[in-house]
Every structure is written in structure tokens, then in C-alpha cells.
Amino acid sequence: MKTTPSRRSFLKLAAACTAPAFGSLAFAAPQTQQKFDKVADVIVIGSGFAGLAAALEAKEKGASVMLLEKMPAYGGNSAINGGAFAVAGSPLQEKEGIKDSPELMLQDMIKSGRGLSHVDLLKNIVYGTRPAFDFTVKYGVKYKPFVQHFGGHSVPRIMQTVESTGGGITRPLVEAAKNLGVDMHLGCAVTDLILNNEGRVIGVKVLERHDYRKENSGVPQVYGARKGVVAATGGFSQNVAFRMQQDPTLGPNLESTNHPGATGEVLQNMLAIGALPIQLDQIQLGPWSSPDERGFGLVSQFNTIAGFPKGIMVDKRTGKRFVNELADRKARSDAILKQLDENGKPVYPICFTDSVGVKQAQTLKNGLKYGVIKKFNTLGELA
């Protein structure tokens, strides 16, 4: 018999996927008589998709919840991504007659995982996509009225927020958390994890009113958790030295679209108390960004909705395609990284599409305005 994991188990997985990493940190000493400045049933570290979902889920079940965010705004990397959500069996798929299933999405993910996937955990994800999607809709998230086909997926199954950013998900969830009474803390950096004599995490040491640009800024506080601590702290790509420990090829010349606070301190604290990192070197690269703009930018959205599914990507030296534009992101990223000139410098590819292909490209207007997307009326102009 096939069982469908609950949303709770799906959210537990999302929190657990924040993998720890090795560092040169001292082990936290167990605390027997620890005094806390404030106590809640559950402490959630991080305010991205996983952290907000975990906080809301715990609050729905009657727990008192404290949510801690290091940065001066909620959302983390989740807020600045593209707001795209792969859903196997969404209402729009049903409406448009797209045949999809968790089983099909599972096969797509196993293929993209190149044999490294933990299939039981993948099942949690694929069977949880529809419940998790419904969870966001319940709290007011709005999606575009059409399904998109992204790389690595065998059928169109991508739902995207009307804003084309993850902020379209994080903002409603933040408001819901506030309305439900979650104790929300901005500018609150976790500096250490507190253990009891059995080695269980019972709280955290923090710096309130912390400025992420100043390492030790803020007011020290100690918070306790009666039931547990959820680490949903996101990525570490802005910590270049730590990133290169995992993958030496991802050096300082490779820009990150992570926000500036994605530096991985809590991940390292987790390992310092015995957490086990799994495949931490499998760092995701996005093949859609442009060297003409910093961060995620306008071109990323244009490429995912127009350039890749409706056009072609070519090596500008030859004018020829060098990879399937709808391959999974690792295949495309690896192919792009191999495009080097005789001096080892990157040769950035170019995406082409036509006036039909750009009809749903939400960032086209501003991309043209700022010159990061180019328009040509004739083949002569293009040449």
C-alpha cells in the first residue's frame, strides 16, 4: 500500500534538508542549570520557506513559537528567488489536461539526481508538493494562471507567484505568522546551540539587534525551547572559503545570487555538536543568470520563461547550441562552465527567442529598459 506523507512530515524534511557542515568550532558544553531570557515550545532559526512553514505548522498544532532571523528583513534566499514551485497534480494541470503524478515527478528527480538520490526522502517531497502548495494558498499566496515547463521536468508542472519572486510566498507567510502570534525576531543572530546533559538541543545563544555586517554586534540573549529547535538557516554560498572547502572549483570569481548573510554559521554549529552532513559538496548552480547584472536579476526570469523553453542558447563564437535548454540545471551549468576561451576566461552564451516566445516574460519590459535584454527587429540588426 502506498502512503502519502503528511504536510507535517514534508515540512520536517524541508527543515532537515538544511545540512550542517564542517568547521573549526569548539563543541558546545552541555548545560545543566541554564537560565533563559525567554522560553518557547519551539524555536525556528531562519525565515525562508522552510522556516516559515515550520513555524506556522507548529503554531497550528498549539505550540508557542519563536522565529529568529539574522537579517534585517524576513525571507532569506527564499524571498529573492524566482517564486517557482514544482507541483505534481496542481489544479491548473488538471484544468489544462496535463497528465502528471508524484510517481512521474519522482522519476524526473531520480534522473536529475544522477544516482545519488535518497528515494524515500524524494517520495516525501513529491507526495508533499500538492499539500504544500495548498498550504501556501490557504495563507494567501497567489500564483500565475498558467503552468510552466522548467528544465529537468518531463511535463509542465511549475507554478509561479504572480510577483515572479519567492517574496510572493514569504510575505503572506510572514503576515500569517505574525497574525497567529509567532514571536518574530529580526536582526537576531544565533551564535551557539545549548545542550542538556543528554546532548539534546534545548536552546540558543543569540545577538539581538545584530548588524550582519559587524560580526559581534548586538545584545547577547539566551532563549530556551521546551520541545525543540528547527534549523532552517539556508545556504552558505557567500562564505567563499567554506564554499571552496566543499567544492574547490567554486572560487571567488563565481558570483553568488544568495543574499549577503548566507554564510553558514549555524550549519557549522550543528556539526560541532555531532550533526552529520550529507552530500554538502553538491552545491546547486543556476544556469540562468547574466554577467550584465548582479544577483538573480531580470534575465534569470526571462531565460526560464522565454529563453530556455521557447528559444535556443548558443555559443556566441559558433552560433551553435551546446546543451539541451530544458536539461536539468546541473547539465546546463556544467556545459556553460566549460565554455572558456584560449586564456581560460568564461565565454558567456546567448539565448535567442522570438516575439511569440516572450509573450509571458514578465521581466521583458524592465530588462529592455536596463539594457540586459536586447530587442532586434530584423535578422540584419541581430547579425
* Neighbouring C-beta atoms of residue 3, cutoff 10 Å: 8
Note the pLDDT tens digit of each residue in 276-310. 888 899 888 889 889 899 878 899 889 988 999 99
Closest to 65 in 3D by CA, of 232, 226, 265, 234: 226
**Residues identified as active-site:** 329
12 band by pLDDT with thresholds 50, 70 and 90: very low
24 band by pLDDT with thresholds 50, 70 and 90: very low
Note the pLDDT tens digit of each residue in 254-281. 888 899 999 999 999 999 999 988 889 9
Instruction: Kindly state the percentage of the chain with pLDDT values over 90.
Output: 75
Query: What integer pLDDT is reported at residue 115 of this predicted model?
Result: 83
Query: What integer pLDDT is reported at residue 114 of this predicted model?
Result: 85
Is the pLDDT score of 28 beyond 50?
no
31 band by pLDDT with thresholds 50, 70 and 90: low
Q: Which domains does the chain have, with CATH numbers?
A: 28-83+161-231 (3.50.50.60), 299-382 (no CATH)
| Cβ(275)–Cβ(21) below 8 Å | no
Kindly report the pTM of this predicted structure: 0.81
Query: What integer pLDDT is reported at residue 295 of this predicted model?
Result: 78
For residue 314, with 0-12 CB atoms within 10 Å meaning exposed, 13-18 middle and 19 or more buried, which class applies? middle
| Cβ(88)–Cβ(108) below 8 Å | no
Mean pLDDT along residues 207-235: 96
Query: What integer pLDDT is reported at residue 294 of this predicted model?
Result: 82
- Rounded to whole angstroms, how far apart are CA atoms 184 and 46? 11
Note the pLDDT tens digit of each residue in 81-134. 889 999 999 999 999 999 999 999 999 999 988 889 999 999 999 999 999 999
- Rounded to whole angstroms, how far apart are CA atoms 56 and 112? 31
**Grid coordinates given for 99:** 497528465
- Rounded to whole angstroms, how far apart are CA atoms 46 and 49? 9
Terminal CA-CA length for the chain: 59
Query: What integer pLDDT is reported at residue 13 of this predicted model?
Result: 31
Whole-number average pLDDT of the chain: 89
- Rounded to whole angstroms, how far apart are CA atoms 281 and 297? 25
Query: What integer pLDDT is reported at residue 380 of this predicted model?
Result: 93
Residue where the block lists cell 495563507: 139
2 band by pLDDT with thresholds 50, 70 and 90: very low
Query: What integer pLDDT is reported at residue 255 of this predicted model?
Result: 84
Query: What integer pLDDT is reported at residue 220 of this predicted model?
Result: 98
Amino acid at 27: F
